[in-house]
Amino acid sequence: MANQGHELRAVYSLAGGIVALGTLFVYLASNGTSAKARKANAKLPSGPKQHFALGNVFNFPKDRWYEAFTSWGKEYGDIVYVNLAGVHMMVLNSLEAVQELTVNRASIYSERPYTVMSNDLMGQGFTMILSSTGPNFTEQRKVFHKFLGKQAISNYDGLIQRHTKDFIEQIDEFVGDPYDPLMKSAGDILTTIGYGEKINSLDG
């Protein structure tokens, strides 16, 4: 029994050491990125208060994120900086900020994070949502703008109006949070544009 007690204490000590090292690594990685930004004279946008090692992990919204982001936008501005245990994110809270950073400066800010699971093991690295700047991304972006750019989007006015009318009729006597029917309506529009038909409610 004494030996088992020693073994358990050893296991707990090892586990505690691993957790401590992991926390230290995240802390150093996070500070390292911030230090690089400071060295490059790059000032990060304002954002909610961070934990010293895990950043905004504890105060990042788990649901109803749109309400939290709106609140942050009012307090910190159109561009809000968030650090999730070393993963650095910017929350854009206005159409102007989205237009400026993702359209006007797309060649600077269109880089995607690389992950072995998604890019290599799942073979999805070629898709527009995961591919980084390069010939493949440029070609896909051209096709995307051809069918969903400012000049092309007016072709879908009738479709959008029909779905909007259906949505208004659905929530006319709806009681409760309209988030789910709103998301379904938006999803119906996107899937109809992309695939020619909306998702049947029986399909989930």
How many folded domains does the chain comprise?
A: 2
| Residue 184 in this model has a pLDDT that exceeds 80 | yes
| Residue 76 in this model has a pLDDT that exceeds 90 | yes
Q: Is 127 contained in some domain? A: no
Q: Is 83 contained in some domain? A: yes
Q: Is 124 contained in some domain? A: no
Q: Is 86 contained in some domain? A: yes
DSSP state of 94: S
Residue with tokens 């934990």: 51
| Residue 194 in this model has a pLDDT that exceeds 70 | yes
Question: Tokens for 62?
Answer: 């788990």
pTM of the model: 0.53
Residue 162: its H or E element: helix 157-171
Domain span including residue 104: 2-109
Terminal Cα distance for the chain, rounded: 54
Q: What angle do CA 23, 46, 81 make, to 5 degrees?
A: 55
